[in-house]
Amino acid sequence: MPWPHIQLSLPDWVDVYIAAHPSTFKKVEDRMALVVELARQNVIRGTGGPFAAGVFELETGRLIAPGINMVVSSNCSVAHAEILALAIAQQKLGTFNLRRDDAMEFELVTSAEPCAMCLGAIPWSGVVSLVCGARDEDARNIGFDEGPKVADWVKEMTDRGIRVQRDLCREQAREVLRSYHEQGGPIYNGR
């Protein structure tokens, strides 16, 4: 019996939603607003958990790849928004390392601080900047298990040449988490 093929595709609504918006987001606040709204739409449409991410070209703010959480809908525990956004960006650009020789730099914007798995993937991705909305404790407060992370993970990222900005639009991102929890969304990796 052959092994099943693994193929993850973002739901069609993501393409429609992205097409209705500009492709360039000059201000980091605008990038985060897009990501938080993708998380909100993911909850409203019932296609995944309350998390989203995007890879952007740092200098221009051009969206390279969106990502939404698809753990439950795909039956895949690694289908986190950050992982999907990074994978889509790397496939789109034809490289496993987003720290390219052509001096183009990339930023990962996430609706919440990365869990242990996503945090581990970020340095290998090649992004030079990480921007986070909600905090780790915001996700834990509604029951998600974010896994064991290094206590000073921000310093670890900085030491690897990745700038970290936290709490951007935190309240808006927390509201998506709260809404998901209040609607009884599945806490798929709770402890």
d(CA 73, CA 85): 16
Which of helix, strand or coil describes residue 1? coil
d(CA 157, CA 77): 24
99 by Cβ neighbours in 10 Å (0-12 / 13-18 / 19+) ranks as middle
Verify whether residue 137 is a known catalytic residue.
no
Q: How many CB atoms lie within 10 A of CB 151?
A: 8
Determine which one of 29, 59, 82, 107 is catalytic: 82
The catalytic residue positions are 82
